[in-house]
A and B are shown apart, each in its own frame.
Chain A
Amino acid sequence: MALSVEHFGRTYAAATGTFTAVADLSFTVAAGEIVGLIGPNGAGKTTTLRSLAGILRPTSGRVRIDGHDIIEDPLEAKRRLAFMPDEPHLFEYLTVTEHLHLIARLYGVPDVDARAAALVEELELKGKERSLPGELSRGMRQKVVIACGLVRDATTLLFDEPLTGLDPIGIRRMRHTIVTRARGGAAILLSSHLLHLVEEVCSRVIIMDRGQKVADGTFAELASRADLATAGSSLEQIFLRVTGHDTAGSAS
């Protein structure tokens, strides 16, 4: 498995004691698979993704990227991983091209110029190569973050709300980009509130609520589950049902 998560948990210190953001989460993502990670606000999606990327330390459990543990063997695990966060985080003093060159240098990408040119074209960053992040719109900065993630051959891609700030053309392109990378053999975990996007590109979905995994399976599997059968087959209806917000369904 490209990405394997076993009994992952993360707690935070809070003023009133400790707060469990994620508890006992286990799942896998195979090469070429696109898995959607959805849940209401505060469900623990971003905490999960940031922990998988090595930004936060898991309180319990194991995370492996291509068999490399993110805690015990972080360099090898991170070499195979690309994380595209929802909030574009860039060095305010480096241009778009310089960001790509820096990432290429750190990851040992040999043909950076050709790759950078192709990504600039693919993500419609043409003409912005010499711009600093402060001169770019939020959508453009998001594209730069994604370009930095794609400039190397990562086997596991983590997307946190990848469409935030993008225009309709950008959204269409991004969908295409994600699907193309999966077809190329990458394992993709995608977190989004845009359920139609998840429904369209993901082959499987994991639903989280209050730090717990409450559903995991393909759309057909979820739709055929006995407790969800009456909810209908759309992801939105399934989501509302499993998170306890489908008041009409609950009543029936």
Chain B
Amino acid sequence: MLSASLYIIICSARNRIRVRLRRLREPRYLIGAIVGAAYIYFSFFARFRATGRSARRRPRTSDFPESMAALFALLPQLSGVALLVVAAAAWVTPVDSGLLEFSDPELQFLFPAPVSRRQLLIHRMLRSQLGILFGALVIGAVSPSTLGVSRLRLSIGAWLLMVTGKIYFTGVTLARARLGAAGARTRRVAWLPLGVLLLALAVVAGAIAGEWQKAPPTGPMEGLLLIGRASQSPAAYIVLLPFVALAQPLFSDWPLPYLMALGWALVVMCGIGAWVLLSDEAFQEAASDVAERRSQEPATKKGEPSYRVRSDGWPLAPLGRPEMAFAWKAAMQTLRMVDRSTLTRTAIILFFLTIASATMGRANGLASMLAAFSFAGTGFAIVIAPQVLRIDMRQDLRHLDLLKTWPIKASTLVRGELIWPGVIITAAAWAMLTIATLLSATMLTNVSVGWRIGGGAALAILAPAMVFSQLTIHNAVALVFPAWVPLGNQRPRGLDAMGQRLIMLGGTWLLLTISLIPGAIAGGIIWLALQRFIGTGAALVPAALVCSAIVGLEVLLATEAIGPAYERLDALAVERPE
């Protein structure tokens, strides 16, 4: 089986490289590859060279703050604590290593083959190595080191850590499925690692609590130093040994300390590997579950969201404007993708993030932290969300075969595709902005109430215009350059694909800037004309209204102008997955 696994891995890698090299014959991929390579060079290597030169000119760490030096010394211990927390969290959060996610060909060819389940697991582990190796090399490449050998050492350490993590998460998935098993022995075996982990967590938490009682920290830095000190107490030191051993190669000096650390990390990895491979029976069940699940979900592809009908939803009226039918379609998609538990999880995460940030910066108070958080959220909703939320033509290019047969005007189709994402992003931006404006006094202490309220109202007026104009640009680009747009949830890989994404991002931002210029000029003139009479803050509102109206008009004209591009659009122009 090992030779078969290696054959599959080598052939797949070789063919993938061939495909990527062959596609460089097309100008769009070649341009993408050049831009991607230039980005990598200027972002990392050129920067590091510059950093290295300046570092050589500077005297070394003589003036380094004492607390920072102490923190660096504690990094292995702190990493060990972080790994312990992640290891424990894996039992409660639905983190999956993906090792049990067999592809369709694997299910079709390997499951009926005379291959044991353990061999299948080894095959999956080997299969995942290329991705992990690449990730580890990237970590080494982006490390701010000037020496190639140190980067290689860091890559090896990162590889060991990532492989161990992958195997561990698989073990957790297998064990978690058996926590409620019928047999008492099976149950005990499944609970044992969790019990050990909880014990370790309790020991470390106890040590931290002890240190906290002695001297509570006054800031984040002190908090980290406290955790580091606590992790060196005898009991915590012992329970953290395997976790620290895994992280140690990232921080050890060459040669002897590094090689020793590598050896211990390998021992930990082998131990976890043995634990997973000994869960053969559980793997049999889990693998069968995967096969069963996949056979019941014939249309679900890897990486695609799963949809579930939860209620009758929102019925579509039989008559009305076709645009609203597209908005309804997108709404159904959202409602069937986002369930109550997802919303609850998101709310809990947001709640704890807010509390944590408020606690860390408690000098500023909870209200100011909430205000800052809401401002950031508003900015994210207006600027980033239209790029991220792709429930529009960018996703529907996959269904072009269907859309092209419908008797719908292109402008109607594009407007219909924009409505739902535009509405939900605007609603989210307004909600965050309302909180931010209400609490703005706690953060913007030097800004007058008129400016705060006027600015908030102006931003609220501008938000839909900016959101819809970005969505229009993204959808227009999808129709004019469909081959450059990744379909649905697929994420094309490779340097050329990365370059293509950068070009698209740059082009979109440029178009957005150009589209905002007329509105900004008109709004600016209105503000200058009115600010003397109604005040500088209040004048922002009519200025925003004029700017929004101009941008809105541009959006309408753009959706009409896209029509010929859609009519010319050929289904074969759309990029297909690799």
| A contact residues vs B (CB 8 Å cutoff) | 12, 15, 50, 53-57, 71, 74-79, 81, 83, 85, 89-95, 98, 101-102, 104-110, 112, 130-138, 141
Chain A interface: which of B332-340, B358-366, B382-390, B493-501?
B332-340
Q: Which of A55, A76, A112, A133 contacts B405 (CB 8 A)?
A: A55
Q: Which of B296, B322, B332 contacts A94 (CB 8 A)?
A: B332
Say whether B402 contacts A89, CB under 8 Å.
yes
Q: Which of A54, A108, A112, A141 contacts B299 (CB 8 A)?
A: A141
Is residue B307 within 8 Å, beta carbon to beta carbon, of the partner chain?
yes
Say whether B307 contacts A102, CB under 8 Å.
no
Say whether B570 contacts A101, CB under 8 Å.
no
- Complex CA gap A130/B311 in Å reads 10
CB distance from A173 to the nearest CB of B (A): 22
Is residue B224 within 8 Å, beta carbon to beta carbon, of the partner chain?
no
- Of the A-B pairs whose beta carbons lie under 8 Å apart in the complex, a sample of 5, sorted by A's number, is A50-B571, A76-B407, A89-B401, A93-B333, A94-B332
- Complex CA gap A55/B397 in Å reads 12
CB distance from B297 to the nearest CB of A (A): 5
Question: Which residue of chain A is the closest to B330 with respect to CB atoms?
Answer: A93
- Complex CA gap A81/B406 in Å reads 9
Q: Which of A83, A105, A130, A141 contacts B319 (CB 8 A)?
A: A105
Question: Which residue of chain A is the closest to B299 with respect to CB atoms?
Answer: A134
- Complex CA gap A49/B329 in Å reads 27
Say whether A110 contacts B319, CB under 8 Å.
yes
Contacts A54-B404, A93-B333 supplied; 10 other A-B pairs, CB < 8 Å: A71-B567, A74-B567, A75-B409, A79-B407, A83-B405, A93-B307, A102-B328, A134-B297, A134-B298, A141-B299
Q: Which residues of B contact A105 (CB under 8 A)?
A: 316-320, 322, 325
Is residue B4 within 8 Å, beta carbon to beta carbon, of the partner chain?
no
CB distance from B206 to the nearest CB of A (A): 48
**Binary flags per residue of B366-404, CB closer than 8 Å to A gives 1, else 0:** 000000000000000000000000000000000111101
Assess A101 versus B318: contact at CB under 8 Å? Given A93-B332, A106-B406, A130-B309. Answer: yes
**Binary flags per residue of B282-322, CB closer than 8 Å to A gives 1, else 0:** 00000000000000111110001011110001011111101
CB distance from A100 to the nearest CB of B (A): 10
Q: Which of B315, B400, B407 contacts A55 (CB 8 A)?
A: B400
Q: Which residues of A contact B308 (CB under 8 A)?
A: 132
Question: Which residue of chain A is the closest to B315 with respect to CB atoms?
Answer: A101
Say whether B317 contacts A55, CB under 8 Å.
no
Say whether B322 contacts A91, CB under 8 Å.
no
Q: Which residues of B contact A131 (CB under 8 A)?
A: 309
- Complex CA gap A130/B332 in Å reads 13
Say whether A98 contacts B316, CB under 8 Å.
yes
Say whether B297 contacts A50, CB under 8 Å.
no
Question: Which residue of chain A is the closest to B571 with respect to CB atoms?
Answer: A55
Among A75, A78, A98, A141, the most chain B Cβ lie within 10 Å of the Cβ of: A98
Say whether B325 contacts A78, CB under 8 Å.
no
CB distance from B328 to the nearest CB of A (A): 8
Question: Which residue of chain B is the closest to A148 with respect to CB atoms?
Answer: B402
Assess A132 versus B329: contact at CB under 8 Å? Given A75-B408, A105-B317. Answer: no
Q: Which residues of A contact B313 (CB under 8 A)?
A: 98
Say whether A134 contacts B407, CB under 8 Å.
no
Q: Which of A53, A94, A130, A137 contacts B329 (CB 8 A)?
A: A94
Q: Which of B318, B399, B407, B568 contacts A78 (CB 8 A)?
A: B407
Q: Which residues of B contact A89 (CB under 8 A)?
A: 399, 401-402
Is residue B113 within 8 Å, beta carbon to beta carbon, of the partner chain?
no
Q: Which 3 A-B pairs have the closest CB atoms?
A: A78-B407, A134-B299, A79-B407
Q: Which residues of B contact A112 (CB under 8 A)?
A: 318
Is residue B25 within 8 Å, beta carbon to beta carbon, of the partner chain?
yes
Assess A53 versus B404: contact at CB under 8 Å? Given A93-B332, A102-B329, A133-B299. Answer: yes
Among A53, A55, A108, A112, the most chain B Cβ lie within 10 Å of the Cβ of: A55
**Binary flags per residue of B117-159, CB closer than 8 Å to A gives 1, else 0:** 0000000000000000000000000000000000000000000
Say whether A57 contacts B307, CB under 8 Å.
no
CB distance from A44 to the nearest CB of B (A): 14
Say whether A75 contacts B332, CB under 8 Å.
no
| B contact residues vs A (CB 8 Å cutoff) | 22, 25, 296-300, 304, 306-309, 313, 315-320, 322, 325, 328-329, 332-333, 336-337, 399-402, 404-409, 567-568, 570-572
Question: Which residue of chain A is the closest to B25 with respect to CB atoms?
Answer: A15
CB distance from A108 to the nearest CB of B (A): 7
Say whether A85 contacts B408, CB under 8 Å.
no
- Complex CA gap A98/B314 in Å reads 10
Q: Which of B307, B336, B406, B572 contacts A12 (CB 8 A)?
A: B572
CB distance from B264 to the nearest CB of A (A): 47
Question: Which residue of chain B is the closest to A131 with respect to CB atoms?
Answer: B309
Q: Which residues of B contact A91 (CB under 8 A)?
A: 329, 333, 399, 402
Q: Which residues of A contact B568 (CB under 8 A)?
A: 57
- Complex CA gap A50/B405 in Å reads 9
Among B299, B300, B337, the most chain A Cβ lie within 10 Å of the Cβ of: B299
Say whether B318 contacts A74, CB under 8 Å.
no
Say whether B405 contacts A54, CB under 8 Å.
yes
- Complex CA gap A76/B409 in Å reads 11
Say whether B407 contacts A74, CB under 8 Å.
yes
Among B22, B306, B572, the most chain A Cβ lie within 10 Å of the Cβ of: B572
Q: Which residues of B contact A109 (CB under 8 A)?
A: 318
- Complex CA gap A107/B313 in Å reads 22
Say whether A93 contacts B337, CB under 8 Å.
yes
Q: Which residues of A contact B325 (CB under 8 A)?
A: 102, 105-106
Question: Which residue of chain B is the closest to A105 with respect to CB atoms?
Answer: B325
Say whether A106 contacts B407, CB under 8 Å.
yes
- Complex CA gap A143/B320 in Å reads 27
Q: Which residues of B contact A108 (CB under 8 A)?
A: 319
Assess A53 versus B405: contact at CB under 8 Å? Given A12-B572, A101-B318, A112-B318. Answer: yes
Q: Which residues of A contact B317 (CB under 8 A)?
A: 105
- Complex CA gap A98/B407 in Å reads 18
Say whether A106 contacts B333, CB under 8 Å.
no
- Complex CA gap A141/B402 in Å reads 14
Q: Which residues of B contact A107 (CB under 8 A)?
A: 406-407
CB distance from A217 to the nearest CB of B (A): 29
- Complex CA gap A75/B567 in Å reads 11
Assess A55 versus B401: contact at CB under 8 Å? Given A94-B329, A101-B316, A105-B319. Answer: yes
Q: Which residues of B contact A92 (CB under 8 A)?
A: 299-300, 304, 307
CB distance from A139 to the nearest CB of B (A): 11
Q: Which residues of A contact B307 (CB under 8 A)?
A: 92-93, 132, 134
Q: Which residues of A contact B409 (CB under 8 A)?
A: 75
Question: Which residue of chain B is the closest to A77 with respect to CB atoms?
Answer: B407
Q: Which of A56, A71, A83, A90 contacts B570 (CB 8 A)?
A: A56
- Complex CA gap A191/B351 in Å reads 58
Question: Which residue of chain A is the closest to B306 with respect to CB atoms?
Answer: A134
CB distance from A18 to the nearest CB of B (A): 13
CB distance from A50 to the nearest CB of B (A): 7
- Complex CA gap A249/B378 in Å reads 76
CB distance from A12 to the nearest CB of B (A): 7
